[in-house]
Amino acid sequence: MSLIFATTILRNTRERDVDDEDLLQRIARADESALSQLYDRYGQLLYSLGMRILRSTTDAEDVVQEVFLQVWNKAESYQKDKGSVYTWLITMMRNRAIDRLRSKGFKQHIQSVDVNKAILFSEAESSNPHASAVQTEHQQLVINALKQLPEDHRRIFELAYYEGFSQSEIADQLNIPLGTVKSRMRRGLQLMRIMLEEKM
């Protein structure tokens, strides 16, 4: 019942016992429990992105497994200065899913995802009516918070969370300094956390 963007923002408003970078460091030391934790944290999110691109349960599941196999084999290749662990995983998932489409002979153009559609896309319908209602409320809170961000901040979030671009790629695409991207993303997260914490 989590959502690609909403879950990420809501998750970031709470304290974590173990952060993503710590998990990657443990994975690089062949810690299987750390890989399991990272999978529990992001597996469904990556699967949802795969379904949006591939429209195939089997293909989406296969690509998720490929991504986590790559994480296991190359955890040490993650570079903090190029974006968060979340963005790193999303970028791998997006690229591998598109490669699979091309290998199957599809030539469809992968367009930018509409903001509201991306936020509202659910991984699976909840069978619990109360949980579903809470989920819908959280979605709307995130949408409202995102809409209140300045346009230049909101665009950076779209590129990072919906399209899987690294901070360096965003800087190139928007023709702005990397430091500006980092500061706007940091400030945007702060603003959204404040808005969400006031409502939750």
pLDDT tens-place string over residues 22-81? 999 999 999 999 999 899 888 888 888 888 888 888 888 999 999 999 999 999 999 888
Average pLDDT, stretch 178-188? 88
CATH level 3 topology of 4-199: Rna Polymerase Sigma Factor; Chain: A (1.10.1740)
Give the C-alpha separation, 62 to 81, whole Å.
29
Give the C-alpha separation, 72 to 70, whole Å.
5
Q: Among all chains, which residue has been given the structure tokens 């469904």? A: 44
How confident is the model at residue 142, as a pLDDT?
74
Does the pLDDT of residue 195 top 90, yes or no? Answer: no
> Average pLDDT of the chain?
75
Q: Which of 38-42, 98-102, 111-115 has the highest mean pLDDT?
A: 38-42
How many CA atoms are closer than 13 Å to the CA of 121, on its beta-carbon side?
Answer: 18
- Residue 3, classed as helix, strand or coil, is strand
Would you list the domain boundaries of the chain? Answer: 4-199
pLDDT tens-place string over residues 114-149? 434 433 343 333 344 444 454 556 667 777 787 888
